[in-house]
């Protein structure tokens, strides 16, 4: 799933291409994608893009007259940019050809957005359709979509600790809870915990002040590192290699590979649709976290599905 670093780089690429441009036409080819009926998606046509923002893992397209398109890519949704191109043949980035809106495209294409500067297309791999698009007409309705997570670069260590220790959950759960912190998911939480040398199942209220400060610093450093790396990788082009599994990662997706810090084999915890990777030597004092022995803890602490996690909203 695209997380904070990926979404930041997506937005930066979009700002260069569509900020100040007019959205001429929207074609939604997968009915499940559009989750709102009022206002209609057609009301976005003919309006200029006046701002782009991130809300957690969502991309917000701010149009004239306070109309917003709210896009959540979920696990497999990806964006592609086509510079005034006929994109019926594929999803290549920045291709130059005669302008034409596709009447038919790949099966995994969910929507296209035609701007005066080019076409943005949305695809989703696999068979589970989770990506979503909402059309929102005012700031109040937009605010209702905010799970309430804090932006880690806008808070200090004390607020970070207070948020995570407001309830007693595992670090993995708390880092990825959109009601607590904004934009962190499965992949980068693994990397954060590895850098902090903390167990994914350590309980937030059991951390020492030194461990909490280490976690705070690791969170900011890891996210900064990956934003910088993804910017360099894109090098001004539209980001096409958006994936949760990267060779530069220390533990995420590296099961049974050597830890880059100590050389021990990376281990994993699997529960329902979740998987956590960790180094037993660096993070759990040599202890292997067996899936079966953790089942009771995880059943109470971890959502079973991505949809359940992403659907969390602030408690009333």
Q: Which alpha helices (DSSP H) does 102-185 contain, by range?
A: 139-143, 157-164, 171-176
Mean pLDDT of all residues belonging to the chain: 89
Read off the pTM.
0.88
Confidence of residue 101 (pLDDT cuts 50, 70, 90): very low
Cα dihedral 29/31/33/36 (nearest 10): 130
Q: What backbone torsions phi and psi does residue 140 show, to the nearest 5 degrees?
A: -65, -45
Sign of CA dihedral 170, 171, 175, 176: negative
Joined tokens for residue 176? 């990825």
Nearest to 3 by CA among 276, 274, 243: 243
Nearest to 3 by CA among 188, 211, 251: 188
Confidence of residue 99 (pLDDT cuts 50, 70, 90): very low
Nearest to 199 by CA among 299, 304, 297: 297
Domain boundaries, the chain: 4-143, 152-310
Which of the residue ranges 3-7, 67-71, 188-192, 298-302 would you say has the lowest mean pLDDT?
298-302
Confidence of residue 299 (pLDDT cuts 50, 70, 90): low
Distance CA(273)–CA(247), nearest Å, equals 22
Q: What share of the chain is helix, strand, coil (3-state, %, to 5)?
A: 35, 25, 45
Q: Residue 94 has what pLDDT?
A: 45
Nearest to 15 by CA among 68, 73, 61, 56: 61
Distance CA(61)–CA(70), nearest Å, equals 6
Q: What backbone torsions phi and psi does residue 111 show, to the nearest 5 degrees?
A: -165, 160
Q: Which CATH class is domain 4-143?
A: alpha beta
CATH number, domain 152-310, options 1.10.443.10, 1.10.8.50, 3.90.1170.50, 1.10.150.80: 1.10.8.50
Cα dihedral 230/236/241/242 (nearest 10): 50
Q: Residue 302 has what pLDDT?
A: 61
17-51: string of b/e by CB count within 10 Å (b at 16+)?
Answer: bbbeebbeebbebbeebbeeeeeebeebeebbbee
């Amino acid at each position: 799933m695209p997380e904070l670093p990926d979404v930041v780089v997506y937005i930066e690429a979009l700002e260069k291409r569509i900020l100040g441009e007019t959205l001429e036409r929207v074609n939604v080819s997968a009915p499940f994608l559009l989750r709102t009926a009022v206002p209609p998606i057609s009301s976005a046509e003919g309006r200029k893009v006046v701002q782009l923002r991130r809300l957690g893992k969502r991309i917000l397209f701010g149009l004239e007259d306070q109309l917003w398109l709210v896009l959540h890519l979920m696990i497999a949704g990806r964006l592609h940019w086509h510079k005034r191109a006929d994109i019926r043949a594929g999803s290549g980035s920045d291709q130059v050809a005669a302008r034409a809106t596709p009447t038919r495209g790949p099966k995994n294409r969910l929507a296209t957005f035609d701007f005066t500067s080019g076409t943005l297309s949305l695809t989703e791999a696999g068979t589970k359709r989770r990506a979503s698009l909402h059309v929102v007409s005012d700031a109040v309705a937009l605010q209702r979509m905010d799970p309430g997570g804090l932006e880690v670069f806008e808070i200090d260590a004390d607020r970070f600790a207070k948020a995570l220790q407001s309830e007693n959950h595992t670090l993995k759960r708390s880092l990825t809870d959109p009601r607590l912190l904004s934009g962190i998911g499965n992949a980068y939480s693994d990397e954060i915990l590895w850098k902090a040398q903390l167990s994914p199942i350590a309980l937030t209220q059991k951390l020492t002040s030194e461990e909490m400060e280490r976690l705070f610093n690791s969170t900011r450093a890891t996210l900064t590192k990956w934003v910088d790396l993804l910017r360099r990788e894109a090098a001004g082009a539209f980001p096409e290699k958006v994936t949760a599994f990267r060779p530069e990662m220390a533990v995420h997706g590296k099961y049974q590979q050597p830890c880059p810090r100590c050389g021990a084999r990376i281990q994993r915890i699997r529960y329902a649709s979740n998987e956590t990777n960790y180094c037993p030597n660096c993070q759990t004092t040599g202890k292997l976290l067996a899936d079966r022995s953790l089942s009771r803890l995880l059943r109470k602490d971890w959502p079973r599905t991505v949809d359940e996690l992403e659907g969390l909203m602030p408690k009333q």
